[in-house]
Amino acid sequence: MVKIKIYIDFSTNRYSDSELIAKTASIETALLGNPRFAAAAGKLTVVTEKKEIFTQALSKAANGTKQDTYDKNIARIPLETALGDLGLNVQEISGGDESLLLESGFDLKKKRSSVGELDPVKNLEVKAGTGHGALEVSWNVVEHALVYNLEYCEAPSSNTSAWIRITVSKRRFTIKDLTPGKAYVFRVAAVGTTPDLNWSEEITSFVM
């Protein structure tokens, strides 16, 4: 029997900014006041708080500066994390009951067979992209990778860096709206069927 689980990937690879807000609202509607998911009320409250912060940042970035866009991208990260935490809680509460999961507002997926921990990404390269403030990031394909997590932050990186994550399905991606004159650090990890990620070496590049 195939076990049904829910998607907890809320990256830009699956949802644009406006789509993420709409999806979050749909999940809120499905869970708010639903007695079957009463145990998830605390995590739902966190999602609502993070959604409001991201919504405000998105509105400001619509006709704002590149810094406003950067701040919006930063504000999206806690919302993605909160949604993932809520999804795991909902999954646990459901006990694998598909009909109950269908009430949650989350999208369902089929369980994939495990291929184990994936190798680190190799030959990470960063070069100027097409357009002002754009950098193109590329790397070698990793066997059995379902998607890749591409992360970047302002240089230099540290334990407190605010990494921005983009999940992509191909081995090349152009990041836009970066600040000219600033240096950014990049890293990539292949995503398989296990939660373990082996990150590539970090590369620093300036935006021209």
Give the residue ranges of DSSP H helices in 37-195: 41-62, 66-94, 98-102
Quick one: average pLDDT of 181-187?
A: 96
Dihedral (CA of 50, 55, 60, 63) sign: positive
Quick check: 43 and 21 in contact, CB under 8 A?
Answer: no
Token reading at 139: 């790397």
| Residue 1's pLDDT band (cuts 50, 70, 90) | very low
Which residues are paired to 199 by β-bridges?
Answer: 189
pTM: 0.54
Token reading at 39: 């145990």
Q: Tally the C-alpha atoms within 13 A of residue 133's C-alpha that lie toward its C-beta.
A: 10
Dihedral (CA of 188, 189, 191, 197) sign: negative
What confidence tens digit (pLDDT) does each residue in 149-171 have?
999 999 999 999 999 999 999 99
Q: What is the pLDDT of residue 194?
A: 80
Check whether 115 has a pLDDT greater than 70.
no
What confidence tens digit (pLDDT) does each residue in 5-38 have?
888 889 888 899 999 999 999 999 999 999 999 9
Quick check: 114 and 193 in contact, CB under 8 A?
Answer: yes
Quick one: average pLDDT of 176-199?
A: 92
Quick check: 184 and 151 in contact, CB under 8 A?
Answer: no
Q: What is the pLDDT of residue 51?
A: 97
| Residue 60's pLDDT band (cuts 50, 70, 90) | very high
